[in-house]
Amino acid sequence: MQRRQFLKVGMLTSVVGISGASALWLSQGGDVKSLTLEALMSKLATLSVLPTEILANLSVGQWNSAEVFTHCAQSVEYSMSGFPQHKSVVFKRTIGTIAFSAFALKGAMTHNLAEAIPAAPKLDPNIDVHQALFRLITSLHEFEQYQGKLAPHFAYGELNKQDYELAHVLHFHNHLDNFKQLGKG
């Protein structure tokens, strides 16, 4: 009898702990006004006027600034043309869907900031940082104008244009976590 009570209390404690942690994580989200393509484009325009030596050294993560801009541009481009490799259908319909829903609800994304898009071309650390930033800006403008069918996301599955816009914005904002002196606002 004591074992059964111990297991019940243990499971209840786990559920309460996970629920509490989830509620805390969700309560610490991004500013909704900054989660638009327009706000992102404004932030990128501000970055584009920085001198090369400053812009190139903003990222303090495993990737330099040019690699981050290229990676984010790839994601935007693939949303229109198709991702080169996908997670399983089961993953996309379960974990992927749940993850995107949580990110959308919170207004913030967290992911491995040095994980490339599966099967995407290797990022070139020596590419010109302004060229990489221009690629990202161009891809976002193209996405904004795009009227065709959007490709399924490699991890989240089918997304409509509004969801993809949010995914692109949250994705870049998450990468800003590795940028010096740049906030998400």
Which one, of 31, 50, 48, lies nearest residue 135 by Cα? 48
Which one, of 137, 131, 139, lies nearest residue 55 by Cα? 131
For the full predicted model, state whether its pTM sits above 0.85: no
pLDDT digits (tens, 9 = 90+) for 35-62: 999 999 999 999 999 999 999 999 999 9
Cβ–Cβ contacts within 10 Å for residue 171, how many? 17
Q: What is the pLDDT of residue 54?
A: 93
Check if the beta carbon of residue 173 is closer than 8 Å to that of residue 106.
Answer: no
